[in-house]
Amino acid sequence: MKIAVGFDHAGFPLKQTVLDAVRNAGHEPIDKGTNSAESVDFPDFAEAVGRAIQNGEAERGIIVCGSGIGACIAANKMKGVYASICHDTYSAAQGVSHDDMNVLCLGGRVIGPELAKALISAFLSAEYQGNKAGGERLARRVEKIHKIEDGGLVQ
């Protein structure tokens, strides 16, 4: 898979760790910046990662800002981008397998390199189960998320 990755200045210290973890998991990172610890705005990089998913350049994304929260909020404003902050491996995997999450948001000031590697491995190895036998309830729930995104369940 191609994985778009983006970092603000607070996420920059984990950049090489993230790029290496994506490669070590057998995937291709697409670097959307930043390229230094100079102060930048996280929405710029959340949007760059989201656009890569929207236009088919990448199948999934990883965004790292200070807490992971701002990047998550910004990414979720984009149609077709389903982001979550995860600081445990269970959520990183289940977000994909149950909820069709396609962007992992991490807090560069919250986690260290070893946990980042474990989270990325869990995220990238998980597969959405809603399109598999027995996954009807998952698919039903994800479809409701898409309806909300398109204007709401009740219109």
86 is catalytic: no
The arrangement of strands across the sheet holding 103-107 comes to 28-31, 2-7, 60-65, 103-107, 83-85
Query: What does the alpha-carbon distance between residue 151 and residue 78 come to, in Å, rounded to a whole number?
Result: 13
Residue of 9, 27, 65, 86 marked active site? 65
H/E run at residue 122:
helix 113-125
| Cα separations in angstroms, 78 against 32, 72, 116, 151 | 16, 11, 24, 13
Residue of 72, 86, 98, 146 marked active site? 98
9 is catalytic: no
How far the first Cα of the chain sits from its last, in Å, is 37
* Active site residue ranges: 65, 98
